[in-house]
A and B are shown apart, each in its own frame.
Chain A
Amino acid sequence: MTFSRRSFFQLSLGALLSTAGQRLLGQGVATHTARPLARSAFSGRPFHAHFVDVASAAGLHAPVIYGGVDSKKYILESTGCGCAFLDYDNDGWMDIFLLSGTRLNDAPPGTTNRLYKNNRDSTFTDVTEKAGLQAVGWASAVCIGDYNNDGFDDIFCTYFGQNRLYCNRGDGTFADVTKAAGLWNEQPRWGAGCSFLDYDRDGHLDLFVSNYLRFSFEHAPVPGQNANCNWKGIPVECGPRGLPTGRHSLYRNNGDGTFTDVSEKAGISKATESYGMTAITADLDEDGWPDIYVACDSTPSLLFINNHDGTFREEAVVRGVALSDDGAEQAGMGVGIGDYDLDGHLDLYKTHFTDDSCGLYHNDGTGNFDDVTRSARIAAETRYICWGAGMVDLDNDGYPDIFMVTGNVYPEVERKLPQYANKTPRVLFRNLGNGTFEELDDQAGLAIREVHCSRGCAFGDFDNDGDLDILIVNLNESPSLLRNDLSGNQNWLKVKLEGVKSNRSAIGARVLVRYEGKKQVQALLSQSSFYSCNDPRLHFGLGPAKVVDVDVFWPSGLHETYKRISANQLLTLREGGGPIPSKGWAAR
């Protein structure tokens, strides 16, 4: 009889080398030794979207300060922040809001969140000070929504420390109403993802906030202090593993400008074992009520299904969106949402750590998902740490593509392991229309291959030319603004919604567009990508289709259908009132 703990060969060959994708033991972040899927031969099909970084020309010069440049002592310095396209002045042109972090010691002068007003000529003006949005701190996420239904979009930002709600006064300025709204945390927390939603369908936007972890400078371990502070044998910042998990919060809008914390009553507080990051809210099971999906880092992601009675039940594991296809935790960061296979159901895309693939989850229409990462050939890419992402039709061919930004969290690692660079390129998967994707190299322009240490990104049409441009947060650099110079004759439609019985922003609405025998659904979101918020005008590439039918499922439960809508326009719809004049295009 022999007794030995010598599982080394079995464990090691299985866990460390097996292609099945096993979790690496004992490091700060969940990753896999997931081997990349073999790349298929390039299809050879032209890609008509071509991206050029016009940030500098557009006036987006200020860097997004976030922690150390060459090394990071704490995880707080590395998670970064998001950005938003919003139309704060209701002129029909997308403005830009960029969050910022700070430094452990003195932040450079001028470090602040920034609001840029769209000059309608492809340039922007920094109006931060004038708008009253100057703020220095460790900002995380932004979500946009008209919480007081006054017709002007408001801004909510999460922070390590104290979150902030900025009420849009409608005159180009904002008021910090955090305390007055009842959103002040008595104890500082690390607010992460956030999303407005109307979970009780009373027409007022409620607010969900994920919290990443509990952090304090006094108690945080330092690089190399334990195995959670090492990566591939190199001392790095610690966490999230080894640090206490955050608790997520749901705030009910009282309809009078204040909120009440209903986390416990709604069942949100039961989820206590997760490092929550990006939060999206959408009706994933198509029952007319918004659900909440939270990408979680190194812990199972969360899917709160709406029970229609003010409560939620968490069902991510059983519904197939909590873990990898092998049942392992992943480093969930960002979330893209869209209908990649044009079956009318909202699919999810979640970004992960290096040496792991991001996850594509196919929705069967009931809120149950299949992990199709491999069959869709997304698993061919495992080289980068991935953050902001979108399932967006960049070439207007009618098939949503997948775009994501990347960047390391350990800038010091590349000095010893050059293959894990700090600055890495963007990734673009072109939808081949058959359930699979192919990764493009420089076919979409050199801006895609430029390397940065990026975090949040937002998709929107800042120049109102009928395609999707991309705003990107690059840590300790100025942001990128990728202008889409789209060629070809593909058609498109943008849909802007104005709620009446529903919340004014119509957040939570689903829009189904039928074209050329296809149907594509999109959701109006308050947050997606990574800690970011997209252009609220839903953009549908239509390919050759010139006429479409549009179904709108309003958050109130109202279902409206619009037949034979012409392509290549912004269609603005008022709930129960039909099309109304659009802003922006009319003003060109």
Chain B
Amino acid sequence: MKFSGALRRLILFFGLVPALLGQRGSPDLAAVTAALGNRQFDRALELVSTALEQYPHDARLWTLQGIALSGKGRSKDALSSFRTSLKFSPDYLPAIEGAAQIEYEAGSEAAVPLLEHVLRLRPHDQTSHAMLAVIAYRHHDCHKCVRNFEQSGPLLDSQVGALQEYGSCLVRLKQLDQAIAAFQRALDSHPDNPDARYQLAAVQLQTGHADQTIETLTPALQSGLADDRAMELAASAYEAKGDTPQAVTTLRQAIVKNPRNTDLYLDFADLCVQHQSFQTGVDMINSGLSLQPKVAPLYLARGILYVQLARFDDAEADFEKADVLDPRNSFAAAALGLQAVEQHDPDQALATLRAKLAKRPNEPFLLYLQADILTQKGPDPNSPDFQMAVRSATRAVALEPRLVPAHDLLAKLYLQAGKNEQAVQQCRKALENDPKDQTALYHLIQALRKTGQKDELPELLKQLAELRRQATQQEREHNRYKLVTETSPSDEAK
């Protein structure tokens, strides 16, 4: 992102203060600034060079040389001139700004201390704030990014990219209403920018405003300019508002548009699971596989659908295929392991998982599953299996603190072992990551009841009832439609 006001401002600075520049014992810089103002960079360099012979320690001359060199595109030499200037006058603002501009444009980390130096000298410098915001965004420091963008004044709105970065960070900080406002400004200023439209629509959906998402996407959908990604988002919005037929239609259109987009088939499979239309999901995955027969996630998805259809042999074959195609992915191995559990063989399941864990000992999901399967054996709390389950789940959450099922499992194990306080802690961690986790909420209620901490219980019971109500409502919406097999859109696309 370009914030290039520095050079112009520097030239202006020098041009506005000729009286200062013409003092006795100082070089006469009026001619230099005039040349710079006229973008006569070679002439400016000649004049500076002459002056530097007489005043080699004059920070202003080195700065003017840096400006001239910048104007000629000789950034490295310009930076050297600005750095020399700062040796003679460390707080010389034009030199700091000039150096910061070059470092920023080069994407260098060195820009940060220079920009912060500028802000110490001129705290409300909007360009420096904007530049620092962009750098912070690159470093995923959203707090700093948002803080600086908010002090960058009108510069923020002048660049759609800045608004998008600002909005993205607001999303990460869960300040979704502000994010919507930012993306709306981006779209208003650049209505033809598909990214701005997509981002606004996506956050609207995230905040539960599916209708607004559709409204935002409609111009692109109606003009036929929407890409498969926007159509996928629209399908999600239609589904969220309960219009499953339109969701299916839109998703099918997206697949027609880009039949090699694996994610679209997975979304379709997801819809099929939601609506108990497993065979339709299988049919669609088959279409995807006909185009891309070596995509592991498609086999994994079809295997999951087969499980729902109680076609366990077919499921196992798909899980094995997925594992062969993508041995680095732990999901297929996990599914294979669980398939063994399905067939009442936890030892085989453990063997499968442990073989995978030997290669990937720090894979949180596999560690969690190992704990889960050990728990399935119904071990006594004093048994080695139980202890191993606790260790494995503990390791899983240490490696991936957001792995909610592992927190849930740990809470369950602690409840079983009578370690109710520890169960409470795990429940709270699960709920931090997923406030809608009914399992964690239920375990928390049980653990608090057992520890005699009953003050929270009435509120938690209300929350659980509300979550159940929402889940029932959601399920009711899901159950309004059943998907039926039609001609595959990828067939249509062929």
Interface residues of A (CB under 8 A from B): 1, 3-9, 11-14, 16-20, 24-27, 35-39, 224, 226-228, 230, 232-233, 241-242, 300, 317-320, 323, 325-329, 368, 374-375, 377, 379-380, 417, 419-420
Q: Is B475 in contact with A241, judged by CB distance below 8 angstroms?
A: yes
B397 contacts partner chain A, Cβ-Cβ < 8 Å: no
CA distance A39 to B376 in the complex (A): 10
**Which of the residues A39, A227, A379 comes within 8 Å of B478, measured between beta carbons?**
A227
Contact of B310 with A12 in the complex, beta carbons under 8 Å: no
Chain B, residue nearest A435 (CB):
B380
Q: Residues of B contacting A1 with CB < 8 Å? A: 164, 168, 171, 199, 202
CB distance from B341 to the nearest CB of A (A): 5
Taking a contact as CB atoms under 8 Å apart, the answer to whether A6 and B202 are in contact is: no
Partner of A18, one of B274, B338, B442: B338
Contact across chains for B270 and A377 when beta carbons are under 8 A apart: no
- Which of B15-23, B53-61, B299-307 participates in binding chain A? B299-307
- 9 closest cross-chain pairs (CB), A and B: A327-B442, A3-B202, A227-B479, A227-B276, A8-B270, A5-B236, A17-B338, A12-B304, A37-B378
Interface residues of B in 289-310 (CB under 8 A from A): 297, 300-301, 304, 307-310
| Contact with B461, one of A37, A317, A374 (Cβ below 8 angstroms) | A317
Known: A13-B304, A317-B445. A3 touches B206 (CB 8 A): yes
Task: Choose one: A3, A36, A328; the contact of B438 (CB below 8 Å).
Answer: A328
Contact A38 B476 (CB under 8 A): no
Cross-interface CB contact of B342 among A7, A35, A300, cutoff 8 Å: A35
Given contacts A25-B276, A227-B479, A327-B438, whether A14 and B405 have CB atoms under 8 Å apart is yes
Query: Known interface pairs A5-B267, A226-B480. Does A327 touch B378 (Cβ–Cβ under 8 Å)?
Result: no
B83 part of interface (Cβ distance < 8 Å): no
Is A375 a contact partner of B380 (Cβ separation < 8 A)?
A: yes
Binary CB contact string for chain B from 193 to 211 against chain A (1 if under 8 A, 0 otherwise): 0000011001101100000
B412 at the interface (CB under 8 A from A): yes
A110, B205: Cα distance in complex, Å = 61
Chain A proximity mask over B271-290: 1 for CB below 8 Å, otherwise 0: 00111111100000000000
Q: A226-B481, A233-B276, A233-B308 are in contact. Are A326 and B476 (CB under 8 A)?
A: no
Q: Is B443 engaged at the interface, CB distance under 8 Å to the other chain?
A: yes
With a cutoff of 8 Å between Cβ atoms, the chain A residues found around residue B146 in the complex are none
Complex Cα distance, B438 from A317, in Å, reads 12
**0/1 string, B361-382, CB within 8 A of A gives 1:** 0000000010011011110100
Task: Give the docked Cα–Cα distance between A45 and B64 (Å).
Answer: 99
B468 contacts partner chain A, Cβ-Cβ < 8 Å: yes
User: Quick check: B449 and A226 within 8 Å, CB to CB?
Assistant: no
Q: How many A-B contacts at CB < 8 Å in the complex?
A: 174
Task: List residues of chain A with CB within 8 A of the CB of B3.
Answer: none
Residues of chain A within 8 A (CB-CB) of B377 are 37-38
> Is B482 a contact partner of A325 (Cβ separation < 8 A)?
no
A6 to B202, CA, bound (A): 13
In the complex formed, the residue of A with least CB distance to B266 is A8
Q: How far is the CA of A177 from the CA of B275 in the complex (A)?
A: 48
* Shortest distance between the CB of A509 and any CB in chain B (Å): 29
Distance, CA A300 to CA B461, complexed state (A): 12
Check B331 for interface membership: any CB of A closer than 8 A. yes
Instruction: Judge if B408 is at the interface, Cβ distance under 8 Å.
Output: yes
Are B309 and A232 within 8 A (Cβ)?
A: yes
Question: What separation, in Å, do the CA atoms of A228 and B412 have in the docked complex?
Answer: 31
Q: Does B263 contact A (CB under 8 A)?
A: yes
Check if B378 sits within 8 Å of A379, measured CB to CB: yes
Q: Are B279 and A233 in contact (CB under 8 A)?
A: yes
Given A226-B481, A228-B479, A326-B412, 7 more contacts at CB 8 Å? A3-B199, A14-B405, A18-B405, A37-B377, A230-B276, A233-B276, A328-B438
- The closest CB in chain A to the CB of B482 belongs to A227
| 12 chain-A/chain-B pairs, Cβ below 8 angstroms | A1-B168, A3-B206, A4-B236, A18-B338, A38-B346, A230-B482, A233-B278, A317-B464, A326-B408, A327-B464, A375-B416, A419-B310
Does B359 make an interface contact (CB < 8 A)? no
Residue of A nearest to B278 (CB): A233
Closest chain B residue, CB of each to CB of A320 = B446
* Contact between chains at B309 and A233 (CB < 8 Å): yes
Provide the bound-state CA to CA distance between A1 and B205, in Å: 14
Q: B372 — nearest CB in chain A belongs to which residue?
A: A19
Note all chain A residues with C-beta closer than 8 A to B346: 38
Which residues of B are found within 8 Å of A319, using beta-carbon distances? 449
Contact of B297 (CB < 8 Å), options: A5, A9, A27, A228: A9
When C-beta atoms are compared, the residue in chain B nearest to A34 turns out to be B376
C-alpha gap A368/B441 in the complex (Å)? 18
Bound complex: CA A155 to CA B328 (Å): 66
Asked whether B439 is an interface residue with its Cβ less than 8 Å from the other chain, the reply is yes
**A226 B482 Cβ-Cβ under 8 A:** yes
Q: Is B335's CB within 8 Å of the partner chain A? A: yes
Cβ < 8 Å to A, chain B residues 329-352: 331, 334-335, 338-339, 341-342, 344, 346-347
Q: Are A3 and B310 closer than 8 Å at their CB atoms? A: no
**Given A6-B267, A25-B273, A26-B478, are A377 and B378 neighbors across the interface (CB < 8 Å)?**
yes
**Complex Cα gap A420–B311 (Å):** 12
B233 within 8 A of A: yes
A317 partner residues in chain B, CB cutoff 8 A: 442, 445, 461, 464
Q: Bound state CA distance, A36 and B171, in angstroms?
A: 42
Evaluate contact between A417 and B310: CB separation under 8 angstroms.
yes
Q: Which chain A residue lies CB-closest to B416?
A: A375
- With A233-B276, A300-B468 as known contacts, state yes or no: A5 contacts B168, CB within 8 Å: no
Please measure, in the bound complex, the distance between the C-alpha atom of A318 and the C-alpha atom of B164, giving whole angstroms.
Answer: 47
Tell me, rounded to whole Å, the shortest Cβ–Cβ distance linking B63 to chain A: 39
